[in-house]
A and B are shown apart, each in its own frame.
Chain A
């Protein structure tokens, strides 16, 4: 009983962790299911059919490709624009500072459905055709603020004397930026980019309003929840999960080994 009380925090934390992980376990297990009928909600029997033919459902891999493509371009766009803003905010004093800060903060404090509906209203009124470009525009818009926040935090914590030291050691402004500022800000930029990619790839609400008839991967999943969920969805979800875990673990091992040597 005393042991229980002393470790109450650990037990509660682990239970929460289980709550977080459980759906992923279910997704993984059900990627080996062979359901009767169109929906993959009840366990029937073991099968590797879906794993051997992940693209076996019409439009699934097409939508996955489109989502990846949009995520890559949205990441590039948001990272470039957001990094520029972050540098301006972290390194310069100027008059519009607080209004810029508010404009950066608002998209993060706004329910997605509001942004989605207003942007769609704009496109409708402008008579712009919904599709790839409207989705990309929307994704860059909502990823931007997150990049600014991540990069700004990193640049703000950087000692300005490092750049002065570089200049003192004969580095021109361009060299200073490339050899000192950028490498030191890189982890922040990488974090912003990674977050952008994840947000863009997984976004449904804003995409749903601004996609027209174009179907991204989350929209495909949404549609299938109404029409019938193919097992391949679970295969893709599990694969993404495993790839992410392996990448992180690999990165950890790599940096760990470098530190030791």
Chain B
């Protein structure tokens, strides 16, 4: 556009070797597009994390105010007091993630390859529950797993609960207020986050690859192990991350379906922040949780070998 001013006014016989550059205004366009959204994230996402970091090394009380005293001991104290909740969070989240994978894979596979004209219907059934508040749906599990309900009586008569009691998942003849109930709730709540990325990944696999594998002497099980599953790895990685991260920080399921013995780290942060009003401890716990998750995720992505998740 500015080239008009640079072009020579009269027809020159020799080639005009004048170099044009894109105008500065044009080069700034992406920055203008980014500005409002990035500013929003910087102010309301990044800055709070910095604030949080400083809070975690403050001491003081609500009445006198808090001051930065580089009191790193908060971290040690918090870890020392709440390590069982940390371990429990990671453990529950890991088990729930594994269950999500085991339960979700067949359904994603079903939608991608077997559903045919029912594909859309099944998809709707997977997504639609989202629109009922997840709190209401979690409360429904209280009814399903009620002590006198049909599910628990069936599990009892099959002696299933004897087995789970033996390995510490349940206590006596109850399911509610046990680790089993909390893991069950976590699995339920984050299952769609496993199914959707798995489905998107499986859907892109050319069904002819299955035929090719069969043609090359692979039994269905071998086809799955050697062809389908390796090709779905990006979906598996994305799905497990999308399940594990929120599950590890969750406190709804532990609160609604568990007892005081099933509290997770999310419960602790919430009560420290909103009830006890011990902000430094809440901040320190948040940071430990964040660091632990980031470390685990980085390690996991390295191992799984896919970094193009975004």
Known contacts: A23-B137, A121-B55. The answer to whether A87 contacts B286 by CB under 8 A is: no
B94 within 8 A of partner (CB): no
Of the stretches B2-10, B166-174, B268-276, the one at the interface is B268-276
Q: State A156–B138 Cα separation when bound (angstroms).
A: 38
Is the beta-carbon distance between A114 and B289 smaller than 8 angstroms? yes
A48-56, A105-113, A159-167, A176-184: which lies at the B interface?
A105-113
Contact A111 B133 (CB under 8 A): no
Query: Contact between B143 and A117 (Cβ–Cβ < 8 Å)?
Result: no
Interface of B is mostly: helix
CB distance from B148 to the nearest CB of A (A): 8
- Tell me, in angstroms, the Cα distance from A10 to B38 when the chains sit together: 45
Residues of A within 8 A of B30 (CB): 88, 91-92, 94
A19/B249 in contact, CB under 8 A: no
Cα(A101)–Cα(B41), bound, Å: 12
A53 to B146, CA, bound (A): 28
Q: Which residues of B contact A144 (CB under 8 A)?
A: 37, 40-41
**Residues of B contacting A233 with CB < 8 Å?**
136, 139
Judging by beta carbons under 8 Å apart, are B29 and A125 in contact? no
How many residue pairs link A and B with beta carbons under 8 A? The number is 246
A171 at the B interface (CB under 8 A): no
- The answer on a CB contact under 8 Å between B106 and A12 is yes
Task: State in angstroms the CA–CA spacing of A103 and B35 once bound together.
Answer: 13
**Chain B positions 288 through 303: 1 when the CB is less than 8 Å from some CB of chain A, otherwise 0:** 0110011001000000
- Tell which of B46-54, B75-83, B205-213 binds the partner: B46-54
Q: Is the CB of B124 within 8 A of A105?
A: no
In the complex, what's the smallest C-beta–C-beta distance from A253 to chain B, in angstroms? 11
Is A196 at the interface (CB under 8 A from chain B)? no
- Residue among A81, A105, A140 with most chain B CB within 10 A: A81
Question: Do A16 and B45 touch (CB < 8 A)?
Answer: no
Which residues of chain A come closer than 8 Å to B256, judged between CB atoms? 225
Question: Contact between B110 and A112 (Cβ–Cβ < 8 Å)?
Answer: no
Knowing A104-B310, A122-B47, say if A225 contacts B139 (CB, 8 Å).
yes
Are A109's CB and B245's CB within 8 A? yes
**Contacts known (A109-B245, A240-B131); A234 close to B110, Cβ less than 8 A:** no
Known: A112-B246, A221-B139. A20 touches B129 (CB 8 A): yes
Closest-by-CB residue of B relative to A120 is B273
**Which of B109, B290, B294, B310 sits near A9, CB closer than 8 Å?**
B109
Choose among B126, B282, B286 the residue with the greatest number of A CB atoms under 10 Å from its CB.
Answer: B286
Is A252 an interface position by the 8 A CB rule? yes
Asked if B251 contacts A205 (CB within 8 A), the reply is yes
Count of residues in B whose CB is under 8 Å from the partner chain: 82
Question: Are B133 and A202 closer than 8 Å at their CB atoms?
Answer: yes
Q: How many angstroms between the C-alpha atoms of A229 and B136 in the bound complex?
A: 10
Option from B127, B131, B135, B286 in Cβ contact (under 8 Å) with A243: B131
Asked if residues B109 and A13 are in contact (CB atoms below 8 Å), the reply is: yes
Contact assessment for B129 and A111 in the assembled complex, using a CB-CB cutoff below 8 Å: no
Contact residues on A (Cβ < 8 Å of other chain), bracket: 35 or more
CB–CB A84/B144 < 8 A: no
- Say whether A23 contacts B141, CB under 8 Å: yes
Contact of B106 among A16, A81, A88, A236 (CB under 8 A): A16
Kindly name the residue among A19, A20, A100 whose own CB sees the greatest number of chain B CB atoms within 10 A.
Answer: A20
Identify 6 residue pairs between A and B in the complex whose beta-carbon atoms are under 8 Å apart, listed by A's number.
Answer: A110-B245, A110-B293, A117-B52, A121-B48, A141-B45, A202-B130
Residues of A with Cβ closer than 8 Å to B? 9-10, 12-17, 19-24, 26-27, 30, 41-42, 81-82, 84-85, 87-88, 91-92, 94, 96, 100-101, 103-107, 109-115, 117-122, 124-125, 137-138, 140-141, 144-145, 148-149, 198, 201-202, 204-205, 208-209, 217-218, 221-222, 225, 229, 233-234, 236-238, 240-241, 243-245, 248-249, 252
Give residues in B with beta carbon < 8 Å to A.
Answer: 29-31, 33-34, 36-38, 40-42, 44-49, 51-52, 55, 103-104, 106-107, 109-111, 114, 120, 122, 124-144, 146, 148, 188, 191-192, 241, 245-246, 248-252, 256, 266, 269-270, 273-274, 279, 282-283, 286-287, 289-290, 293-294, 297, 309-310
